[in-house]
Structure 1
Amino acid sequence: MKTSIQIDNIRFYAYHGVMEQEQIVGNHFTVSILLEADVVKATATDELDETISYADVCDVVKEEMEIPSKLLEHVAGRIYRRLRSTFPKITALEVKVYKLNPPGCGEAERAGVILRD
């Protein structure tokens, strides 16, 4: 059995961006995480220590989103590396970081970065 944990569109208000205005005023962002890990035992035992707590994953993402960066690539990279180091059970990982209503894009809904292995 292959197992994954998915957390979609965690919403944040943060201060990421190249333009000075973005660093002062901030913007809305979303982060989505898809991770693969062998958590099959949790399907039988109902024990939290047999899986990766999505609440703990969200805490890591929140902490990294609170650190201002110019580039979404940098934010996504920090989240990716931190999740990998915090949860050694992860065998594959995808991190999506999107800036909503990005400046300079006209009427774009979002702009983002996806890191995956």
Structure 2
Amino acid sequence: MGKVRLENIRLYAFHGCLKEEGVIGSDYRVDLEVTADLEKASVTDQLADTVDYVTLHRIVQLEMDLRSHLLETVGARILDRIFKEVEGVSAAEVSISKINPPIGGDVQQVTVVLSKTR
């Protein structure tokens, strides 16, 4: 078994419950870790035998582009799509952080972490 991590994916998106968040948008950070059997790929040196991180990145981008009120909803969509489209993934964890959230205080970011297993 092994892990593939995509760290500090930086995106601009329009999530949030406030109407203004859907218009103005915010900066986001996404971290993703998937667990899969990477032994075959370590021997064959073939992309087809591993989890393609380009595919994982594309999934994150596409799901972050779909506006939601809650980061929990976005995270669940990302995990569901990974398990639907990427064979061999046995577990995944996604962290979505909203940078400088509009909560009336000096907060660097808020983060939601979700995980799923097959």
TM-score tier (shorter): over 0.9
User: Given residue 65 of structure 1, which amino acid in structure 2 is its aligned partner?
Assistant: M
* Paired AA for residue 5 in structure 1: V
Unaligned 5+ segments in structure 2 are: none
Q: SS of the residue aligned with 1:24?
A: helix
Please say if 1:14 is aligned against 2:10. Answer: no
Q: CA deviation at 1:25?
A: 0.1
Q: Which residue of 1 aligns with 2:57?
A: 58
Extract structure 1 runs of 4+ deviating beyond 6 A. Answer: none
How many residue pairs were aligned? 116
The CA distance in 1 between the partners of 2:64 and 2:83, in whole Å, is: 16
SS of the residue corresponding to residue 76 of structure 1 reads helix
List alignment gaps of at least 5 residues for structure 1.
Answer: none
Partner residue in 2 for 1:109: 108
TM-score, scaled to structure 1: 0.95
Q: What SS does structure 2 have at the residue aligned with 1:11?
A: strand
How far off is 1:36 after superposition? 0.3
1:15-34 deviation digits (Å, cap 9, x = unpaired): 00001111100000011110
Secondary structure of 1:67's aligned partner: coil
Aligned AA (2:78):
I
| Closer/same/farther in 2, CA of residues 108 and 53 from structure 1, 3 Å limit | same
CA shift, 1:105, in A, is 4.7
Distance 1:56 1:68 in 2: 21
SS of 1:112's partner is strand
Cα distance change, pair 71–48 in 1 and its aligned pair in 2 (3 A): same
How does 1:1-117 map onto structure 2 within 5 Å?
2-117=1-116
What amino acid is aligned across from residue 86 of structure 1 in structure 2? E
Q: Distance in 2 between matches of 1:105 and 1:3?
A: 41
Report SS of the residue matched to 1:94.
strand
